[in-house]
Copies of this chain bind each other. A is one copy, B any other.
């Protein structure tokens, strides 16, 4: 079983569904011509299939381990990481000024999907670094930029994000870590951070921790938090790793999955750090890092979905079992319900891919445009981001779960690898803001424009329905109806109290994503006949759930609180 990078489908989605060819018409991304795009995707696909995929199982079987205060990565991970770094992929979205490729996000998204499909546990490592590069590019002093960005961009050094503390999970403002100014531009950072992805390892020569901590005069809550860059080894005068800093991993978590990705509890004991961004301005800097990381996490779900789908399809084509109603080949692929599962996996994965790529496209267009145009694209990307994160990762779990089911009894045996996908992807629905928090963002912050961005997307959906009406009237009607239901549901949300919005946020996000799926897949079908069956399946068999979800949205918060804790327990 080998992973086959879905490059053709990515290109089709970019060109025919999203219309991403518009990007090469901008000055900023004029280099992103079809030929260049293809060359980059092929190269990343090759790396993913040939170098990363082969170590995925090793990471699961031989977890990273903490030995004598140092984390040892899983077998083969150091070599595979080196291949990522040497290919320039760590710096694919970094500023060329410091050695980056400066690729548009549509490409880093597509490349990310392939790396995640191949080995999510390892792909997390450069993802963390990429987020750090972005935060430093936006918020760090020139001195820090000069010193750190080339090392991070080349992958010689890696980056981490240190937000969470035991008592402060989603509620970052409750953190207690402290930073004391030393009067020489440095700070002593003290505190304990948990869930630090790739918090320590031996695959690169230095690790740069971005740590949220409170200055002595920092007020309680998020407004008193500042951001510090705290390297594992303090750079010497030549910028090379020097004296060890006073920080260390004190334990690794025993997780459901992603065993190849060390998740550390980090202890900072008066560790030397440098402030990034202004005093008490840490959250803003961290949000820069987290915002795009959200899309990146959605793409993790997408990557696992694609890999799990490919694996299940290959198994179904191979597994001979029982007579079917339609053929005498007797592979389970010919059983109707196995077909249903595979169609569902493919439709959901295709929808997630289109949403993620379209989110990236919006963010790219925002950067490449200016004025109102830029604001419009930015708002579009901002609206799509929580959908990409939550739906992408939900789909990752659902498709991996269906993948187990397609494998039957073999799916429950770890050697098969189907279960690993389900275990690995599970956390993506939790970290970088739980999917519930994404949904709250969608109905809260993302509707603060009065619904403009959401309505613009609904307008696109309506336009698709209109364009399809002549050739596919039933699909067009279904899409039109679903869009109208979404629109009236969004109107309800806009008029509702905030907790009523929150109560319906998760079903609303899901409904929106399912209807977007109808829109994207129908656009695909209009561009290429052979894609019609998938659009039909999605629109007529999956998308009807959107109306049922919208029915739940408009019930408001009261029904959710109608049972008190005692009644819930009885």
Q: Are B337 and A439 in contact (CB under 8 A)?
A: yes
CA distance A353 to B401 in the complex (A): 23
Q: Is A79 an interface residue (CB 8 A)?
A: no
Most buried by B among A174, A340, A431: A340
Contacts of A243 in B (CB 8 A): none
CA distance A469 to B38 in the complex (A): 63
Q: Is A557 an interface residue (CB 8 A)?
A: yes
A29 CB to nearest B CB, Å: 28
Q: Is A470 an interface residue (CB 8 A)?
A: no
| Given A419-B256, A536-B562, A552-B541, A397 and B408 contact (CB-CB distance below 8 Å) | no
A residues 398-433 in Cβ contact with B at 8 Å:
401, 404-405, 408-409, 411-415, 419, 422-423, 426-427, 429-431
Q: Are A412 and B440 in contact (CB under 8 A)?
A: no
| Given A171-B321, A255-B412, A570-B8, A435 and B405 contact (CB-CB distance below 8 Å) | yes
* Interface-lining segment among A113-121, A362-370, A496-504: A496-504
A85 CB to nearest B CB, Å: 27
CA distance A440 to B323 in the complex (A): 14
* Interface-lining segment among A44-52, A92-100, A381-389, A543-551: A543-551
| Given A169-B321, A322-B171, A337 and B412 contact (CB-CB distance below 8 Å) | no
Copies of this protein chain in the complex = 2
Question: Of B313, B337, B530, which is within 8 A of A436 by CB?
Answer: B337
A213 CB to nearest B CB, Å: 19
Most buried by B among A256, A336, A439, A545: A336
A319 CB to nearest B CB, Å: 8
Q: Is A28 an interface residue (CB 8 A)?
A: no
Q: Are B506 and A337 in contact (CB under 8 A)?
A: yes
CA distance A427 to B414 in the complex (A): 12
Contacts of A532 in B (CB 8 A): 562
Q: Are A505 and B337 in contact (CB under 8 A)?
A: yes
Q: Is A22 an interface residue (CB 8 A)?
A: no
Question: Of B322, B325, B567, which is within 8 A of A498 by CB?
Answer: B325
A314 CB to nearest B CB, Å: 8
A533 CB to nearest B CB, Å: 3
Q: Is A565 an interface residue (CB 8 A)?
A: yes
Complex: chain B residue closest to A314, CB-CB? B569
Question: Of B506, B541, B569, which is within 8 A of A313 by CB?
Answer: B569
Q: Is A146 an interface residue (CB 8 A)?
A: no
Contacts of A434 in B (CB 8 A): 405, 408
Q: Which 8 A-B pairs have the closest CB atoms?
A: A533-B562, A325-B499, A171-B322, A544-B548, A339-B560, A337-B436, A541-B552, A336-B503
14 pairs, A vs B, C-beta closer than 8 Å: A170-B322, A171-B322, A255-B414, A326-B557, A335-B436, A336-B557, A337-B439, A340-B506, A340-B560, A341-B436, A405-B429, A405-B435, A533-B567, A545-B545
Extra A-B contacts (13), CB below 8 Å, given A346-B568, A404-B426: A170-B408, A171-B323, A253-B413, A254-B414, A310-B569, A326-B561, A336-B499, A339-B561, A405-B429, A405-B430, A533-B559, A537-B559, A547-B548
